Amino acid sequence: MRSSFFSRKCILGLLAGAALAIPAMQAAAQSTYVTKGSKAASEKSCVAETSDIRRNHMDYMKHGRDEVVIDGDRTGQYSLAGCIDCHAAKDASGKYLPVDSEDQFCHSCHAYVAVNPACFQCHRTTPEKRD
Amino acid sequence: MLSKMYYRELYCGTPVRFWMGLALLTTFILIGLGSAYYMEHSGHWVTGMSNQVVWGLPHVFAIFLIVAASGALNVASIGSVFGGPMYKPLGRYSSLLAIGLLVGGLIVLVLDLGRPDRLIVAMTEYNFKSIFAWNVILYSGFIGIVAVYLWTMMDRSVNKLYRPLGFIAFFWRIALTTGTGSIFGFLVAREAYDAAIMAPMFVIMSFSYGLAFFIVTLIAAYLWSDRQIGELRLAKLKNLLGVFVGAVLYFTLVFNLTNLYATQHHGIERFILLDGGVYTQMFWFGQVLVGGVIPLFLIYSPAFDKSRWAIAAASIAVLIGGFFQLYVIVIGGQAYPMTVFPGKEVLESSFYDGVVSSYVPTFAEGALGVGGIAIALALVAIGARMFKVFPESLEDPEEA
Amino acid sequence: MSKQSDQPGMNRRQLIGGVIAATGAVTIAPGLILHAVAGNPQQKKGASSEKRWGMVIDANKCADGCSACVDACNDEHNLTGFDRPATDAQWIRTVKLKDKQTGHINRMVMLCQHCEFPPCVDVCPTNASFKRVDGIVLVDRHRCIGCRYCMMACPYKARSFIHEALADQSVNAPRGKGCVESCTLCVHRVDAGKTTTACQDACQKEGHAAILFGDLNDPKSRISQVLKSNNSTQIRADLELNTGVRYLNL
């Protein structure tokens, strides 16, 4: 997940992020931060205090990924699939939009701080429906 | 008495000659990097590699360069560890070439990873049972040690460290090629590998390829910069190369004889020696004839006594033969079907069980490999231009 | 907790910052403590070292021409191919064998054998290939750099390299270009407390019942009883890897 931090773009991103992230977060707190039409839009808060999630989601997810992959413990509070299930919005025809596509949940903020999440090189970007 | 050596940066007759050479190398480097980007961007399906032949042409180039890097240090080691006065003036260049070749090889290896962007993981996560993890340490350590070694040769103020570092570098490079050979030696499941002799064989291969690389590039650099090399010095290098070429042939013989004795290895031996098609041809014509018999003839035949063209040709033949040898080991060894079901014949399988896997290298793979060689040579050319590594003249000492 | 589950990213961070001991400790400590709490044995969460998951495959029951298990596996993990058999991923495959001397013909399925001493784990430079405490051999794709050394080392050709970019992966098996993968023994089902794998269900549904999954450590499990009362074989038993997948009538 973090590996992409080491591309040049992302090191610049880190620098930019350090300078911009905090004001950006504050700005985002006042505006709407969930995507319209997603399940999250109707919830009172995220799986934890929203400000906490916004600041620490990457650590929670990374922590959770080791619990799941290595320890086989899937009972944790935080899961990437959970994020996507809740935060993916639908388009006019009722089809889910990928969370990392332009202006969608993950993309909007990460584009702003120029951090490129590598999650979606392996993880799906829409809620999965299985029969 | 040996006359005093003066070292000088690499200046060619005209600046254009140097920069044109560098421009040529840069072209190959750019093509190589472009190919690497193309392969990484599309995924490995655009290469000849598959789930059956998982290591392809880039690995042949990378291992070739890494093994040669260790051998390129021969001359420096002989100068400091074994005290050969004729070799000592060449120690600086020997070290520079070793670093250059290793960097070139490593770049090829890394750019062929599935996830080169995660290279940092290979430096933060170590599995000490993995010979690959050891090699990460051995390769990076080699660059560091040889760099310091080079420094002790060039700076009088640290000259007292010259001999100790010579020893450290010598043992480290033996460890490095042992580690590289063990990548294959430790593969218990594959008939073509799984042999302890792989490690010493790679050590001796490194002596041979590295020295050949050294001779070819030394002659080229001195032609490039209009400097002189004495016949006696070249003759010494030539005789040494002859011994190493013979030793590689000997190890090849022992390796194959051992396999021929064990019934379970008859299949792979038959494949390499008799009916493996392109691999059989590469073995006999590439490795044995071009890489062994022809260079030995060029080196020891009185007809070519002091011809430096014969020496250069012998070195180039050693390099070509060495490349084929690694191709047969790396790709031939994978193309031959692994025995998953001993005693059974595979009638049907969707995953190529029991059949010879095909591997056809693509242009991009070759371009990446050639780019690696170009990176190595460009680093050496730039290093030789910036530092005083080449003696002004390598004329034979008057006494001799 | 085991050292293996320490978080790699933390080390990386240290490296970037160039901040060595003190700051590093402060960075890592919360992660370790959190992890220790989460892994508290009292809670009995996650994989258990008391179990060893395995499989038994009856070659006599594996029906000619049937590929139900392969299809089910592809569906369960969304292993969509690109019609390029040399590079498409295969976690389970059917194989037909003929004894060279006797001419006896067998049909069976090959998959990751989930060895007790897996060569792929031995050779992996970054610990990405690993064995869970319950015996399931997996690839942690967060750490896999795609060197393919495990594919060189595996005696069973059980692993596939992902040769192209993928989309719409299943939550059951997140996977992407440049990493190596193999049968997970339906680890997502195991973690959810289910007792069958996708291939076993499919084989059962076809009426062959050639595949049986279960806990090799539990003497009362069906798989243990079947293995105790029948003569089973390991493939390449000469390598002494103590495979978790055993075969009957091979």
In this structure, the answer to whether residues C156 and C201 fall within a common structural domain is: yes
Which of A46-60, B126-140, C55-69, C83-97 is least confident?
A46-60
Which tokens go with A131? 């029969």
Q: Which two tokens stand for residue B228?
A: 């002189």
Nearest CA-CA distance, residue A55 and chain B, Å: 24
In a domain, B346, yes or no: no
- Could you tell me the CATH number of the domain that includes residue C242? 3.30.70.20
Asked whether residue C85 falls in the same domain as residue C176, the answer is yes
Nearest neighbour of A71 by CB, restricted to C47, C169, C171 = C47
The tens digit of pLDDT for each residue in B68-90 reads: 999 999 999 999 888 878 898 99
Per the prediction, chain B carries an average pLDDT of 94
CB-closest option in B126, B127, B353 to C157: B353
Interatomic CA distance for residues B122 and C160, integer angstroms: 21
Residue recorded with tokens 């064990």? B262
Report if residue B159 sits inside a domain.
Answer: yes
Angle B178-B334-C107 from CA coordinates, rounded to 5°: 130
**Count of residues making up chain C:** 250
Q: Determine, yes or no, domain membership for B13.
A: no
Give the whole-angstrom CA distance, residue C62 versus residue C68.
Answer: 10
Confidence band, pLDDT 50/70/90 cuts, at residue A51: confident
pLDDT for res C44: 62
Q: How far is A71 from chain C (nearest CA, A)?
A: 6
Residue C48 lies in a domain: no
Buried b (16+ CB within 10 A) or exposed e, C80-109: eeeeeebbbbbbbbbbbbbeeeeeeebbbb
CATH assignment of the domain containing B122: 1.20.1630.10
The number of residues making up chain A comes to: 131
> Residue B93 in contact with residue B384, Cβ under 8 Å?
yes
Give the best residue of A1, A2, A3 to mutate against chain B (max B CB count within 10 A): A3
Cβ within 8 Å of C, B 127-156: 127, 129-133, 136
Residue B127, in any domain of the structure = yes
Start-to-end CA distance of chain B, whole Å, equals 9
The model's confidence at residue B398, banded by pLDDT at 50, 70 and 90, is low
Task: Identify all chain B residues contacting C108, using CB atoms and an 8 Å cutoff.
Answer: none
- Kindly tell me if the per-residue pLDDT of B31 is higher than 60: yes
Q: Measure A109 CA to nearest chain C CA, in Å.
A: 22
CB contact under 8 A, A67 and C38: yes
CB–CB contact A71 C175 (8 Å): no
Smallest CA–CA separation between A27 and chain C, in Å? 27
Neighbours of chain A (3+ CB pairs under 8 A): B, C
| Mutation target among A55, A96, A121 for the C interface, most CBs of C within 10 A | A121
Instruction: List chain B residues with CB under 8 Å of C164.
Output: 42-45
Do residue A123 and residue C7 have CB atoms under 8 angstroms apart? no
Q: What are phi and psi of C128, to 5 degrees?
A: -70, -40
Inter-residue contact B329 to B29 (CB < 8 Å)? no
Chain B: partners with 3+ C-beta pairs within 8 Å = A, C
Average pLDDT, chain A: 79
| Contact check, Cβ <8 Å, B120/A3 | yes
The DSSP 8-state label assigned to residue B85 in this structure reads T
Give me the phi and psi of C96, to 5 degrees please: -115, 125
Q: Please tell me which of the candidates C11, C84, C119 has its beta carbon nearest to residue B189.
A: C119
Residue A131 within a domain:
no
Q: Determine how β-strand C232-233 pairs with β-strand C211-215.
A: unpaired
Based on the domain organization, do C162 and C225 belong to the same domain? yes
Structure tokens at C89: 């991923």
Distance from C178 to chain B by nearest Cα, in Å? 4
In the structure encoding, which two tokens stand for residue A9, read together?
A: 């773009």
Domain count, chain C: 2
Give the range of the structural domain holding residue B366, as residue numbers without chain letter. Answer: 20-339+358-389
Q: Look up the domain containing C130 and give its range.
A: 53-248
Residues C24 and C133 in one domain: no
C157: left (phi > 0), else alpha (psi -120 to 50), else beta? left
What is the DSSP pairing of strand C53-58 with strand C245-248? Answer: parallel
Of C210, C106, C111, C231, the C-alpha closest to C160 is C111
Q: How far is A30 from chain C (nearest CA, A)?
A: 30
Reported as half-sphere exposure (CB side, CA atoms, 13 A), residue C3 has a value of 5
Mark whether C133 and C162 lie in a shared domain.
yes
Residue whose entry in the numeric block shows the structure tokens 């460290």:
B161
Per-residue pLDDT band for B394 (boundaries 50, 70, 90) equals confident
The answer to whether residues C223 and C149 belong to one domain is: yes
Which residue in the block uniquely carries the two structure tokens 């922590």? A63
Domain span at residue A66?
3-121
| Minimal-distance CA residue of chain B relative to C15 | B124
From the CA of B117, how many Å to the nearest CA of chain A?
6
State the Cα–Cα distance between residues C198 and B53, nearest whole angstrom.
29
Q: How large a percentage of chain B has pLDDT more than 70?
A: 98
* C64 & C105 share domain: yes
Of C232, C101, C227, C124, the residue nearest C182 (C-alpha):
C124
Q: Is residue A128 part of a domain?
A: no
Interchain contact, B115 vs A6, CB within 8 Å: no
Query: From the list C38, C176, C191, which residue is nearest A122 (CB)?
Result: C176
Asked whether the beta carbons of B164 and B68 are under 8 A apart, the reply is: no
Helix/strand/coil (H, E, C) string of B210-260? HHHHHHHHHHHHHHHCCCCECHHHHHHHHHHHHHHHHHHHHHHHHHHHHHH
Residue pLDDT, tens place only, B308-339: 899 999 999 999 999 999 999 999 999 999 99
Quote the CA–CA distance of B179 and B173 in Å, as a whole number.
10
Residue C81 contacts A where some CB pair is shorter than 8 Å: no
User: A30 falls in which pLDDT band (50, 70, 90)?
Assistant: very low
Cβ pair B370, B25 in contact under 8 A: no
The pLDDT tens digits along chain C (250 residues) read: 344 444 444 444 444 444 444 444 444 444 444 444 444 444 467 899 999 999 999 999 999 999 999 999 999 999 988 999 999 999 999 999 999 999 999 999 999 999 999 999 999 999 999 999 999 999 999 999 999 999 999 999 999 999 999 999 999 999 999 999 999 999 999 999 999 999 999 999 999 999 999 999 999 999 999 999 999 999 999 999 999 999 999 8
Per the CB < 8 Å rule, is C149 touching B121? Answer: no
Residue written as token pair 């539990």: C218
Smallest Cβ–Cβ distance between A74 and the set C141, C165, C191 belongs to C191
Give the residue among B200, B294, B300 at the shortest CA–CA distance from B250. B200
Tokens for A62? 């990374």
| Angstrom distance (rounded) from CA B262 to CA B267 | 10
C168/A contact by beta carbon, under 8 A: yes
Q: Return the pLDDT at C37.
A: 45
For B304-314, b/e burial (b = at least 16 CB within 10 A) is beebbebbbbb
Q: At what angle do helices B231-261 and B198-224 cross, to 10 degrees?
A: 160
Rounded distance, CA B324 to CA B64, Å?
10
SS3 B13: coil
Looking at the domain assignment, is residue C179 inside a domain? yes
Pair C135, C187 in one domain: yes
The answer on C210 and C123 residing in a single domain is yes
Are the CB atoms for B328 and B272 separated by under 8 Å?
Answer: yes
Burial-class residue C26 by CB neighbours within 10 Å (0-12, 13-18, 19+): exposed
Tell me, yes or no, whether A130 lies in a domain: no
> Which residues from A are below 8 Å from B118, CB to CB?
3
Give the pLDDT confidence score for residue A50 in this predicted structure.
86
What residue has token string 């390449």? C236
Nearest to C125 among B120, B130, B341 (CB): B130
Nearest to B113 among C110, C145, C151 (CB): C145
Q: Are strands C92-99 and C53-58 parallel, antiparallel or unpaired?
A: unpaired
pLDDT at C248: 96
Cα within 13 Å of Cα(B68), Cβ side: 37
Which residues of chain C are within 8 Å of residue A124 when distances are taken between CB atoms? 167-171, 174
- Asked if residue C60 and residue C7 are part of one domain, the reply reads no
| A1 touches C at CB < 8 Å | yes
Contacts of residue C173, Cβ cutoff 8 Å, sequence gap at least 6: C76, C77, C78, C79, C181, C184, C188
Residue of B nearest to A3 (CA): B118
Q: Please indicate, yes or no, whether residues C95 and C10 belong to a single structural domain of this protein.
A: no
Strand partners, C130: C138
Query: Inter-chain contact C95–B349, Cβ cutoff 8 Å?
Result: yes
Name the CA radius of gyration of chain A, rounded: 15
pLDDT at residue A36 in the model: 77
- C73 lies in the same domain as C10: no
Of C84, C99, C152, the CB nearest to B45: C84
In a domain, A13, yes or no: yes
Residues of A in contact with B121 (CB under 8 A): 3
Burial C35-58 (b: 16+ CB within 10 A, else e): beebbeeeeebbbeeebbbbbbbb
